[in-house]
């Protein structure tokens, strides 16, 4: 069967990379990128099919499903943790209503597979902080976190009730050079590279020893494609899979950057609301279920991430 893959939220940090990766596998025309605004493409990149989509507008979304009859849908549109705390009701509405619109249309249009990202933000202050297991106490205290936790429950529910093949990953903080993150707590781990190359210094909004699970974008995209490629019977978890990445602090990241840019200087903001969010999240994650069920294996360690980020960003900053 030839695939038609609709990516909603294609202009974001993950969407930008995922659309490129999917087009590499399925061909440009098989991938319908969509977002609430027109994309801004770096010069020289080919532009494939694109639709304006507002996930809160059921009719607009339905028209896009009717026009393209997607066989797979990736729903990436969301408000992240930091912006979510500034706009709690909008974050809840977008993250929840958007998901329900897409799940309903996916059932109605007999979409074969749906991908929806969850996050380490589903854990909270009473979850185990180290090597956080797949199943444990979950008391997220950000709107983003509990919208993702509720979304996970809806995904499992649509799988059980309607047989919808929906798959999900709890992404750690994602580090990539092709696109910037938009309004999360882990954004510092991308900004630090831009500032290191542009200004030789960075003021970090998280404290030096704030450990958080992080992953290189290439690994995250590979995890996503391999989860989506796995035979359905291998996907034992229909809420969302833990994905560990590696535990990184601003201080360890700065030390690694200094190996390439010895004059780099990092300082730390005294008070930032994102610190409390970071403190409520796990420091490291256990992703043995992903390893066992669909053979997940991480490739990028910290030295490799830093080298690749600096090499690629140097060319475009």
Q: Site residues (CB under 6 A) for ligand SER?
A: 80-81, 119-121, 144, 171, 173, 184-186
For ligand SER, which is the closer residue by CB, 9 or 173?
173
With tokens 């960075």, the residue in question is 202
Contacts 24+ apart (CB under 8 A), 82-89: 82/183, 82/184, 82/185, 82/187, 82/273, 82/274, 82/277, 83/182, 83/183, 83/184, 84/142, 84/143, 84/144, 84/147, 84/183, 85/142, 85/143, 85/144, 85/273, 85/277, 88/143
For ligand SER, which is the closer residue by CB, 175 or 197?
175
| Residue 202, both tokens | 């960075």
Q: Give min distance, CB of 94 to ligand SER, in A.
A: 14
Q: Rounded to an integer, what distance in angstroms lies between the CA atom of residue 249 and that of residue 161?
A: 41
Residue sitting closest to ligand SER (CB):
184
Q: Give min distance, CB of 65 to ligand SER, in A.
A: 27
Q: How far is CA 48 from the centre of its chain?
A: 22
For ligand SER, which is the closer residue by CB, 48 or 176?
176
For ligand SER, which is the closer residue by CB, 61 or 192?
192
Q: Rounded to an integer, what distance in angstroms lies between the CA atom of residue 308 and that of residue 311?
A: 5
Do the beta carbons of residue 280 and residue 192 sit within 8 Å? no
With tokens 């590696």, the residue in question is 246
For ligand SER, which is the closer residue by CB, 61 or 278?
278
Q: Rounded to an integer, what distance in angstroms lies between the CA atom of residue 65 and that of residue 102?
A: 10
Q: Give min distance, CB of 207 to ligand SER, in A.
A: 16
Q: Give min distance, CB of 125 to ligand SER, in A.
A: 16
Q: Which residues are catalytic?
A: 144
Q: Give min distance, CB of 48 to ligand SER, in A.
A: 26
């Amino acid at each position: 069967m030839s695939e038609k893959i609709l990516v909603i939220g294609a202009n974001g940090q993950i969407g930008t990379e995922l659309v490129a990766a999917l087009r590499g596998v399925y061909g440009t025309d098989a991938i319908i990128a969509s977002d609430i605004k027109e994309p801004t493409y770096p010069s020289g990149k080919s532009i494939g099919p694109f639709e304006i989509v507002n996930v809160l507008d059921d009719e607009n979304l339905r028209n896009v499903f009717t026009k393209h009859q997607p066989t797979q849908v990736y729903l990436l549109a969301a408000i992240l943790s930091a912006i979510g705390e500034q706009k709690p009701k909008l974050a809840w509405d977008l993250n929840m209503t958007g998901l329900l619109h897409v799940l309903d249309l996916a059932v109605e249009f007999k979409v074969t597979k749906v991908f929806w990202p969850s996050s380490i933000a589903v854990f909270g202050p009473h979850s185990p902080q180290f090597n956080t297991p797949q199943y444990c106490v979950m008391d997220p205290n950000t709107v983003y976190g509990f919208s993702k936790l509720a979304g996970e429950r809806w995904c499992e529910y649509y799988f059980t009730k309607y047989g919808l093949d929906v798959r999900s990953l709890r992404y750690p903080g994602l580090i990539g050079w092709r696109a910037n993150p938009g309004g999360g707590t882990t954004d510092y781990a991308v900004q630090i590279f831009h500032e290191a190359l542009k200004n030789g210094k960075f003021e970090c909004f998280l404290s030096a020893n704030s450990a958080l699970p992080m992953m290189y974008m290439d690994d995250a995209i590979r995890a996503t494609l391999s989860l989506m490629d796995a035979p359905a019977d291998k996907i034992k978890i229909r809420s969302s899979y833990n994905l560990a990445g590696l535990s990184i602090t601003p201080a360890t990241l700065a030390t690694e950057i200094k190996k390439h840019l010895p004059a780099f200087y990092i300082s730390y903001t005294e008070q930032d609301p994102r610190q409390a969010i970071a403190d409520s999240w796990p420091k490291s994650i256990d992703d043995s279920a992903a390893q066992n069920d669909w053979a997940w294996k991480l490739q990028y360690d910290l030295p490799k991430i830093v080298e690749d980020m600096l090499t690629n960003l140097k060319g475009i900053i």
